[in-house]
Amino acid sequence: MSYKNILYSCENRVCTITVNRPEKLNALNRETIAEIGRAIKSAESDQNIRAVILTGSGNKSFIAGADISEFALFTPDQGKELSQHGHDVFNAVERCSKPVIAAVNGFALGGGCELAMACHIRYASENAKFGQPEVKLGLTPGYGGTQRLPRFIGTGRAIELLITGDMIDAQEAYRLGLVNKVVPQQELMNDCFQLAQKIVQQAPVAIAQVLNCVNDFMNKKTNGFDTEVNSFGYCISTKDFKEGTSAFLDKRKPVFKGN
């Protein structure tokens, strides 16, 4: 599959998706969002892939938001369509059955912060900056920022960031619970890869079920407790469960095949 605005590579069962528009600080135009959607679908359907890392090109920016030059002259209907498209793709990231780790290597503003929040885990470099500056453009966030930010940092702090458009640095994002870990920039990709390597050793079906349970908790569409009961029962039907329990009893390392 060929891409124009992203790089897609795979190593040791981990796929890395890199938004590659460094001259625009990796701002997301419509085409790039669509390519991220295609890349996630591709990683999802590839049996050899068990985890995904999402990052931006260069050492200054993860993603500096939606591409402002693209929507400056939009009509309201075009604006709604763009926002819906972003929601569809970012929801697909959140709903991916394989863990998606955001390697936030610089500015994560607007759509960049929103995409990082749609990922399952966030590691940030020391120079990363987070913010939802849309109000400065006369806009609301359009890719889930008003819904996901309060979940991570609480309503009061989220509203403050959303209505001032202020940026916070990586340490503050860590303190607020928006990122899992802050590391020196040169260690970011390696740390994310090490994390991914730990994840790929675990049972893929169980991981997919955990992500689904947590998504049901967050999105409140279905009762997450019911989802968990069903997931637990389902996992017991899998070969991975038999492998995991036999390996424990045989005092050996399990080898999970994802079935």
Active site residues: 114, 134
In the chain, how long is the greatest CA-to-CA distance?
Answer: 65
Is residue 40 involved in binding ligand COA (CB under 6 A)? no
Is residue 114 involved in binding ligand COA (CB under 6 A)? no
Is residue 134 involved in binding ligand COA (CB under 6 A)? yes
Interface residues for ligand COA in 15-34 (CB under 6 A)?
24-25, 27
User: From CA 5, how far away is CA 20, in angstroms rounded?
Assistant: 5
Interface residues for ligand COA in 78-107 (CB under 6 A)?
107
Closest listed residue to residue 110, CA positions, set 159, 60, 162: 162
Is residue 69 involved in binding ligand COA (CB under 6 A)? yes
CB of 14 within 8 A of CB of 197?
Answer: yes
Is residue 145 involved in binding ligand COA (CB under 6 A)? no
Is residue 67 involved in binding ligand COA (CB under 6 A)? yes
Sign of CA dihedral 79, 81, 83, 89: negative
The one-letter amino acid at 10: C
**Shortest spacing between CB 147 and ligand COA, in angstroms:** 16
Task: List, edge to edge, every strand of the sheet that includes 61-63.
Answer: 61-63, 107-109, 129-131, 167-169
Q: Report the residue number, 14 or 109, with the smaller CB distance to ligand COA.
A: 109
Backbone angles phi, psi at 158, to 5 degrees: -65, -45
In residues, how long is the chain?
259
Q: Report the residue number, 25 or 195, with the smaller CB distance to ligand COA.
A: 25
Is residue 64 involved in binding ligand COA (CB under 6 A)? yes
From candidates 102, 109, 115, 207, binder to ligand COA by CB under 6 A: 109
Q: Report the residue number, 36 or 200, with the smaller CB distance to ligand COA.
A: 36
Q: Report the residue number, 65 or 204, with the smaller CB distance to ligand COA.
A: 65
User: From CA 179, how far away is CA 94, in angstroms rounded?
Assistant: 16
Is residue 66 involved in binding ligand COA (CB under 6 A)? yes
CB of 100 within 8 A of CB of 52?
Answer: yes
Q: Report the residue number, 137 or 210, with the smaller CB distance to ligand COA.
A: 137
Closest listed residue to residue 245, CA positions, set 203, 196, 198, 207: 203
**Shortest spacing between CB 232 and ligand COA, in angstroms:** 41
Summarize as ranges the residues that interact with ligand COA (CB under 6 A): 24-25, 27, 64-69, 107, 109-110, 133-134, 137
